[in-house]
């Protein structure tokens, strides 16, 4: 009997370990929904992540996964540590060989920005792909929590999301009901590019009690004519091209009939803070709200 008991113990122990492993593996597997409505699953927390847009890089760091980012796209310059991560391409071209050499277990891509054909090639290799394209301020918070789930950094991600939501809520409570200011947001002047209601900037303007004069346009970043801007006659004009401020919003100075020009409401702002869908957008909104308060004070 003793011999039978001795041989039975390893089998029983093996069964227990197998059941424990099965339960642990089931808990480790995670499925979330991305911004394209796709289900994205990882068998275990992602350890080798490639970010394919600057805003994605910021989100991954903010969600507690900065050390897991092994590759980024150009212009991934925040936080400072992101500048030291190898680049795998640009918005126009992905270095496929470099991506594969990094052995990623998760790709986080910008749905509006990356080359569709190359992304399909990567997906065909079985690498999980999460599309990131937050168009509303709340979607920044949900992006943080979902990425945190995929990386197993839920605690850090949830804290970052809570802090971000608190900042946005405070700004909205202070400014959203203030008298409306009609805003033209310019991202480039030759040709004139703006951002529509399809872009998160419109939501940011709304928090400050502003109204994007081109919110109704369908494309996220449409071109508009000089005549169209003059017809809308915005009370405030914002430019986000920090590299060439002089020839940016100042193109409107000759149009003395424009309300924004009459009242001196041509404002420069850090476009990267305000345009990137990351927690830093709260900093950009705080500045935007202050500028709109200036515009209100300049009313007759």
27-167 CATH fold: Rossmann fold (3.40.50)
Distance CA 41, CA 150 (A): 8
Q: Residue 90 region, left (φ>0) first, then alpha (ψ -120 to 50), else beta? A: beta
Mean pLDDT score, 155-177? 98
Q: Among 9-18, 44-53, 163-172, 231-240, where is mean pLDDT lowest?
A: 9-18
- Note the pLDDT of residue 116: 75
CA atoms within 13 A on the CB side of 293: 13
3-state secondary structure of 191: coil
- Note the pLDDT of residue 197: 95
Residues of the chain with CATH 3.40.50.1980: 27-167, 176-297
Residue 201, Cβ neighbours under 10 Å: how many?
30
- Note the pLDDT of residue 118: 84
Q: Does 244 have pLDDT greater than 90?
A: no
Q: Does 19 have pLDDT greater than 50?
A: no
Burial 131-157, CB ≥16 within 10 A → b, else e: bbbbbebebbbebbbbbbbbbbbbebb
Are residues 88 and 50 in contact, defined by beta-carbon separation less than 8 angstroms? yes
176-297 belongs to CATH 3.40.50.720: no
C-alpha dihedral (235, 240, 241, 245), degrees to nearest 10: 40
Q: Does 26 have pLDDT greater than 80?
A: no
3-state secondary structure of 32: strand
Whether the pTM exceeds 0.85: the reply is yes
Q: What is the pLDDT of residues 56-99, one digit of tens each?
A: 999 999 999 999 999 999 999 999 999 999 999 887 889 999 99
What is the average pLDDT value for the chain, to the nearest integer? 89
């Amino acid at each position: 009997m003793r011999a039978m008991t001795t041989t039975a113990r390893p089998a029983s122990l093996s069964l227990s370990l197998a059941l424990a492993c099965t339960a642990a593996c089931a808990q480790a597997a995670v499925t979330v929904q991305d911004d394209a409505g796709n289900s994205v699953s990882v068998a275990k927390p992602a350890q080798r992540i490639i970010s394919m847009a600057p805003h994605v890089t910021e989100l991954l760091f903010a969600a507690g996964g900065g050390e897991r980012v092994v590759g980024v796209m150009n212009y991934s310059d925040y936080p400072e540590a992101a500048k030291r991560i190898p680049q795998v391409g640009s918005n126009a071209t992905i270095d496929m060989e470099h991506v594969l050499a990094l052995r990623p277990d998760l790709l986080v891509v910008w749905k509006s920005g990356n080359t569709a054909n190359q992304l399909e090639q990567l997906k065909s290799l079985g690498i999980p792909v999460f599309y990131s394209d937050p168009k509303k301020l709340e979607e920044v918070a949900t992006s943080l929590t979902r990425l945190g789930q995929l990386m197993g950094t839920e605690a850090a991600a949830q804290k970052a999301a809570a802090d971000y939501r608190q900042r946005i809520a405070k700004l909205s409570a202070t400014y959203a009901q203030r008298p409306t200011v009609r805003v033209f947001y310019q991202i480039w002047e030759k040709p004139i590019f703006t951002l529509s209601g399809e872009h998160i900037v419109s939501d940011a303007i709304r928090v400050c009690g502003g109204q994007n004069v081109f919110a109704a346009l369908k494309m996220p970043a449409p071109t508009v004519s000089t005549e169209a801007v003059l017809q809308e006659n915005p009370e405030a004009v914002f430019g986000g091209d920090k590299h060439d401020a002089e020839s940016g919003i100042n193109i409107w100075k000759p149009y003395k009939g424009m309300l924004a020009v009459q009242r001196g409401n041509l404002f420069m702002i850090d476009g990267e803070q305000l345009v990137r869908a990351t927690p830093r957008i709260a900093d950009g909104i705080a500045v935007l709200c202050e500028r709109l308060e200036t515009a209100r004070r300049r009313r007759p």
